[in-house]
Chain A
């Protein structure tokens, strides 16, 4: 079996992989789509007249064309309706079971109770609630079909990563996350033990073309070490684990590129307030390896594994670095910037920075769910990671 340069190092550390699973984070758009329900009109028609009625509705309510509802069946058989809707119709048209129910979804928009004119008998029009957004999974489509209206899943996701690509990435990251998260824990403890900072750590990985993962930097938090005093609770913010790990990647690139083409501008190897040189044996071991592909750009397409959900600064740093993927273990609702939440009453920040419509880079993000939730200590959430 092929292995990476860093594999032996990790084996020597005798790290016990975590047990649990990855849960993809929801994007802000997905969360909003999930609960975006609107009221529309539905009408019962004779199947032979369905085409006429649709044409008539479109003509009578021109504004209806603005409503994008391609994920819902325009009209559907009575038997395919959700039970609640079927019984509402049954109460009004008890004898005409053979009728097809036509969704006059398009007839809504202005909320007008006007009925489509010129049908031979007055049609039965009901108001019903439907999901306005496209379903993003087969399960969601099935659930909506059962509760609202027959619904089609097209294997796309306008509100987040494409389902196919996400599941491929999940499979790749899933194989390595148990070891790398455990390594991140080790990095967190190493810095914490020397009073450098809170027990927060991370691991940066480059995925080679053959799929093998190479650990390029490992860092703990050093906000209380090196400079300043620990009496300020925020400490040296730039020394959060993510910033340190990214700093070490950049230094490694300069070093490797200098070796390769003699062009890199090697900066002096002395610890600065960035704290981006190794602070202990663990960090040094990985930093010393020349195991990053030469002439790379920032942290483009690298993966990062964290003990905690990163703060706003670190999440945006991950974005600036153009990482491909991010896995974290502990959610930090008060300070974390990757998870999403809905509504002002939620006490989490809910920025969902990994997949933000207005930002020019998006990455995959997962929360790690430990199999034994009791095994994970609660270390309070009033801290920035």
Chain B
């Protein structure tokens, strides 16, 4: 039986979802995150790949950059990450190399997921200690953010055919226990 998420976990993931909301407002893929240190938010991040023209500016790395402006590297080893979508393969490797303590994520990332969906970068053999990961926290909310983004993108698309797929899908598939 899975251990329930604590109220604190929920509160932090809500902060991450807010970051996802702002990404959406800025026409970025709506993924948001917060790094927690000693029970307080140390840094926040959201996707910035469109604005920066840089495919590596994912929420996790954006937040780390913000943290490293003020703190030394060592502090990352004492942080817990709450991110709305499963870290991709790139970010999973970065988080493991930085030595982040634990990762909570919302929904799975079937296209790029690096902590179970496509690869298992968090637990595979590596010269770095494993990365502790737990998914499924506010999963539906994270998926809704992504769906709203795709609807928004379709509205902008010049091809009128795409507009037909515009209706928002609100039903959410049950969590795949195999993942």
Contact = CB atoms under 8 A, between A and B. Distances in A.
Interface stretch (A29-37, A111-119, A137-145, A267-275): A267-275
Contacts of B73: 227-229, 232, 234-236
Majority secondary structure of chain A interface residues (helix, strand, loop or mixed): loop
Interface string A289-327: 000000001110000000000011110110111100000
B23 interface: no
A234 B128 contact: yes
Interface stretch (B14-22, B52-60, B145-153): B52-60
B125 A349 contact: yes
A59 B31 CA distance: 56
Interface in A134-193: none
B124 A317 contact: no
Nearest to A296: B53
Interface stretch (A16-24, A61-69, A84-92, A353-361): A353-361
Nearest to B119: A351
B6 interface: no
A246 B111 contact: no
A237 interface: yes
B11 interface: no
Given A360-B111, A384-B97, A243 B56 contact: yes
A334 interface: yes
A247 interface: yes
A137 B32 CA distance: 46
Given A227-B68, A229-B73, A312-B121, A234 B99 contact: yes
A375 interface: no
Q: Which of A311, A317, A349, A353 has the most CB of B within 10 A?
A: A317
Given A234-B99, A316-B93, A254 B65 contact: no
B20 to A, nearest CB: 19
Contacts of A273: 64-65, 68-69
B65 A317 contact: no
B69 to A, nearest CB: 6
B138 interface: no
Q: Which of B52, B56, B88 has the most CB of A within 10 A?
A: B56
A238 interface: yes
B99 A316 contact: no
A349 B55 contact: no
Interface in A233-260: 234-238, 243, 246-247, 249-250, 253-254, 257
A359 B64 contact: no
A272 B56 CA distance: 15
A343 interface: no
Contact of A250 (B53, B92, B111): B53
A253 to B, nearest CB: 5
A317 B89 CA distance: 9
Interface in B76-118: 88-94, 97-99, 111-112, 114, 118
Interface string A118-142: 0000000000000000000000000
Contacts of B88: 316, 320
Q: Which of B52, B91, B118, B125 has the most CB of A within 10 A?
A: B52
A207 to B, nearest CB: 19
A253 B99 CA distance: 32
Given A273-B69, A312-B90, A353-B89, 4 more contacts: A234-B98, A253-B53, A334-B127, A349-B124
Interface of B: 49, 51-56, 61, 64-65, 68-69, 72-74, 88-94, 97-99, 111-112, 114, 118-119, 121, 124-128
